[in-house]
Structure 1
């Protein structure tokens, strides 16, 4: 087995390292004009594989909206962190979506373009794969593989996520063989049954330079990814100041945080039919005050969302507030009001 494979397998859940990223907020003003190092990282993968959660854990801010449903991210979002004179710029992309899914979930047509745009901007590509899904754990999404083949000149690495949910670590080597077509950094993964392996169809991508085993939700293993990205950064002027941590406006981040919580709390396609609009926003020195209106298709759905005595809506508001505090690093006062869509 190659040295790279041994390095990838050294991380087990029982010995995982929890990483706490450091955000430098007090860099001198002239730092943005100094030659430092920069790396642009496109994070791609199937829907709900944990892309946004991984980025949030590394930058230690809940910048990228994350929920337990597919297609939470619908546009390209940049999240940045600065460490060791190096700026890492993450490009969080929407999960790949079929035309049928776009219609079912009322997704914007710009989603597909967002994925390809992030690849064009990337110095390195990270592919997040959910190993806990028993139906897809041995196969990379075909659209992800196609994107990788179209950008084969850009280095890429594989992030096997949700490793803590894998029932048996004995499956791990077999899964890795399938996802890499038995090749890592140009070296074959040793397989005692080489002939039978050659007869199998290719399930993954053959040109990954490295593999990382992580639990993005718990933070296990992500320090290795950050160290890897810092080592791949190139000398350049900073694209953003060290104090900046996203290219999104606060108003947009608030709307996306509310949307993600409705996705968490509501069943099936219901949350995809809601229209969320920020009505008021004020950033004071000591706190943030905001008000969000959520337009519902009917009065019946509004009552369903509110729950008995308004209990469900209060839970949504409480958890949204917690996420926004984690995002802005200051107290947040938020009001969420349900409105019924006017009849034509």
Structure 2
């Protein structure tokens, strides 16, 4: 039986479909009454750098949520929307779970943890993104994530196993799924040797109330469309919270500053980018030319760090600026002209 389930799992992923065993309950029927539209609010939570923002950007087809290759790129609650077939999906992108030690190390705002709980209170469904490529954490959910899910266990939730393309052995997936779901999906046990004995709740590594499990690669887009279809099927008739042409609740100023910050996180080593203060000093949108002009000041704590960021002859800064421009054009779907100015933080006068 376990072999059959594993074969089904392989077939499911090869077709970029999500893993739903035959014993999971069927999707709710589509509501034919569309006079008021359909809406679903989705809270996306997970450990830092698990791919939450990348997933949302893929589904909305717009780089709304800042994403980088470092932890704690997202520091506040961000709403991203997409509209299709009279259905509005409202994503609530949340910061990754953070400890007091990390807050001090990375100079993170106190509001990060509260942003996660705020998103949960606003959600109709919760999606948990888990990085399966991390060999140290792939087999268990972060304790804070489990705590959040237990706090809102009345809200339906689903598991998103991300970065499966980086997993060398696909045979490990069934074991990972059993661990992360405590061997139970939608109230039904997953067949196999791992579920033959009753488990001690103290040794459980996951959450046993997930209704569905998706296998995806958010960066490549594999399996992402299935999540979008799943959410659209679970949307309910309601008045739209935002107009159909609205794609975020963030201001252009915030979007630009966060895009700049994310790109500095990509290009600079260790804790350096977390020490920078980024502020938009000029913004102009020229509607008739479909163009945006903006200038951003990046305040550095020292002159030495400013020279390090600029690179030889300013080459590194020009490279960073080029990537920022491309990201902003993906955000606004317009031509963007951006200027980045480095500034050394002034010392307080005695």
Q: TM-score, normalised by structure 1?
A: 0.92
Residue pairs, 1:253-268, within 5 angstroms? 253-268=255-270
Is the partner of 2:141 in helix, strand or coil? coil
Indicate the residue corresponding to 1:84 in structure 2: 85
Is the partner of 2:230 in helix, strand or coil? helix
1:16 matches 2:20: no
Q: Quick one: distance in 2 between partners of 1:264 and 1:15?
A: 32
Indicate the residue corresponding to 2:74 in structure 1: 73
Is the partner of 2:42 in helix, strand or coil? strand
In the alignment, is the contact (CA less than 8 A) between 2:183 and 2:195 conserved in 1? no
Query: How far off its partner does 1:194 sit?
Result: 3.6
Q: Quick one: distance in 2 between partners of 1:325 and 1:296?
A: 26
Indicate the residue corresponding to 1:163 in structure 2: 164
Indicate the residue corresponding to 1:249 in structure 2: 251
Q: Quick one: distance in 1 between partners of 2:199 and 2:253?
A: 52
Of 303, 308, 315, the residue aligned with 2:307 is 303
1:224 matches 2:219: no
Query: How far off its partner does 1:191 sit?
Result: 1.9
Of 277, 280, 295, the residue aligned with 1:278 is 280
Q: Could you tell me which runs of 5 or more consecutive residues in structure 1 were left unpaired when the two chains were aligned.
A: 18-32
Query: How far off its partner does 1:198 sit?
Result: 2.5
In the alignment, is the contact (CA less than 8 A) between 2:9 and 2:174 conserved in 1? no
In the alignment, is the contact (CA less than 8 A) between 1:11 and 1:221 conserved in 2? no
Is the partner of 2:210 in helix, strand or coil? coil
1:342 matches 2:343: no
* CA offset digits 1:203-249 (Å, max 9, x no partner): 00000000000000011101110110001001000000000000000
Is the partner of 2:91 in helix, strand or coil? strand
Indicate the residue corresponding to 1:315 in structure 2: 319
Query: How far off its partner does 1:201 sit?
Result: 1.1
* CA offset digits 1:290-330 (Å, max 9, x no partner): 00000000000000000111111011100000000011111
In the alignment, is the contact (CA less than 8 A) between 2:6 and 2:171 conserved in 1? no
Query: How far off its partner does 1:280 sit?
Result: 0.0
Q: Quick one: distance in 1 between partners of 2:194 and 2:334?
A: 57
Q: Quick one: distance in 2 between partners of 1:63 and 1:52?
A: 8
Is the partner of 1:242 in helix, strand or coil? coil
Q: Quick one: distance in 2 between partners of 1:193 and 1:67?
A: 36
* CA offset digits 1:5-64 (Å, max 9, x no partner): 98765432x5437xxxxxxxxxxxxxxx95110000000000000000000000000000
Indicate the residue corresponding to 1:291 in structure 2: 295
Q: Quick one: distance in 1 between partners of 2:206 and 2:12?
A: 22
Q: Quick one: distance in 1 between partners of 2:235 and 2:242?
A: 15
Is the partner of 1:109 in helix, strand or coil? coil
Q: 1:232 to 1:146 in 2, by over 3 A?
A: same
Q: 1:56 to 1:145 in 2, by over 3 A?
A: same
Q: 1:8 to 1:243 in 2, by over 3 A?
A: farther
Q: Quick one: distance in 1 between partners of 2:239 and 2:119?
A: 20
Q: Quick one: distance in 2 between partners of 1:218 and 1:194?
A: 33
Residue pairs, 1:197-216, within 5 angstroms? 198=199, 201-216=203-218
Residue pairs, 1:97-246, within 5 angstroms? 97-195=98-196, 198=199, 201-246=203-248
In the alignment, is the contact (CA less than 8 A) between 1:34 and 1:237 conserved in 2? no
In the alignment, is the contact (CA less than 8 A) between 2:82 and 2:247 conserved in 1? yes
Q: Quick one: distance in 1 between partners of 2:284 and 2:59?
A: 28
Q: Quick one: distance in 2 between partners of 1:335 and 1:9?
A: 48
Query: How far off its partner does 1:195 sit?
Result: 4.7
Q: Quick one: distance in 1 between partners of 2:50 and 2:205?
A: 17
Is the partner of 1:198 in helix, strand or coil? coil
Q: Could you tell me which runs of 5 or more consecutive residues in structure 2 were left unpaired when the two chains were aligned.
A: 18-33
Indicate the residue corresponding to 2:26 in structure 1: none
Q: Quick one: distance in 2 between partners of 1:46 and 1:152?
A: 19
Q: 1:150 to 1:193 in 2, by over 3 A?
A: closer
Q: Quick one: distance in 2 between partners of 1:336 and 1:260?
A: 14
Query: How far off its partner does 1:343 sit?
Result: 1.3
